[in-house]
Amino acid sequence: MSEALQSLLDLLDLERIEEDIYRGRSRSAVVPRVFGGQVAAQAMVAAGRTVPGDRHAHSLHAYFLRPGDPGAPIVYNVDRLRDGRSFTTRRVVAVQHGKPVFTLSASFQTYEEGLDHQAPMPPAPDPATLPTGEERLRSYPHLPADTVERLLETRAAVDLRHVDDPPFGAFGTPREPHSQVWFRTNGKLGDDPLLHVVLATYVSDMTLLDSVLLAHGRGGWAVGDVVGASLDHAMWFHRPFRADEWLLYDQQSPSASGGRGLGQARIHTQDGRLAVSVVQEGVVRVPR
């Protein structure tokens, strides 16, 4: 396991303060606020620790209410909304400086047989044939060196490989609002299914709104030609998967208007199983 991955796992390992109350810390980010994927992943950790081990996450729905302060701890309060025969529901409120900054509802289910079908996996190149995230980032001479280093630092725990140039790599020309990214953790993880859900939740917020930017030829927050922030985020976990094995994150944007952009995505395993569906809306503003 890489040092960066171990550092991320330590970040997600919350401190238990009291029954159903947990405390987490933050790490530096490219922008001066808590990374949304971090607070969503930590909230899932808090929710999952109050759920029986035979029930696995099948969905989450979250709202980002305020920018998180990376210099202050985050307190996660868990409400045990329901414990049914098949489903368990939890609500988590993340608090900083006495105010809620994030809310999450998560549902967990016991395993059962049922109808089974899925959308086919889209075509994509083998991840082994693609440049690594570091190779791609360092190939863009227009990116400031400090921006490259910050991006590399925040993504060091994950092997993230874009199929095509990301928005900050080749901006200025609008193209189809569609992007693909292969990802896996930089090291093996344990077998706890919740851990893999948590890591996928963390990564899911990294690139989902990129397809919005591609449609308008914008480089994004990394180059400062738009201002953005996550507003809400939803995920449905359809089938078991491992975040330490290659996953294809196929993302598109059907709409942007009113200073907001919508991203939709599917996450497939390398052998073609549809593992996760993701939808997110975010603020996407062009600075005056």
Cβ-contact 37, 204 below 8 angstroms: yes
Which residues are marked as active site? 205, 230, 280
- The confidence score (pLDDT) of residue 78 equals 98
Q: In CATH, what is the architecture of 3-111+130-285? A: Beta Barrel (2.40)
Q: What is the mean pLDDT of residues 254-281?
A: 97
Lowest mean pLDDT among 27-36, 72-81, 187-196, 269-278: 27-36
Task: Characterize the bridge pairing of strands 99-110 and 158-162.
Answer: unpaired
CA 225 to chain centre: 22
pTM: 0.94
Q: Is the pLDDT of residue 197 over 70?
A: yes
Q: Which residues contact 133 (CB under 8 A, 6 or more apart)?
A: 152, 155, 158, 159, 160, 161, 162
E-state strands within 132-203: 158-162, 178-185
Q: For the chain, give every domain's residue range.
A: 3-111+130-285
For residues 93 and 168, give the distance between their C-alpha atoms in angstroms, rounded to a whole number: 33
**Two tokens, residue 234:** 């939803």
* Tokens 């078991």 sit on residue: 240
Distance in Å from the first CA to the final CA of the chain: 44
List, for residues 235-260, the tens digit of each pLDDT value.
999 999 999 999 999 999 999 999 99
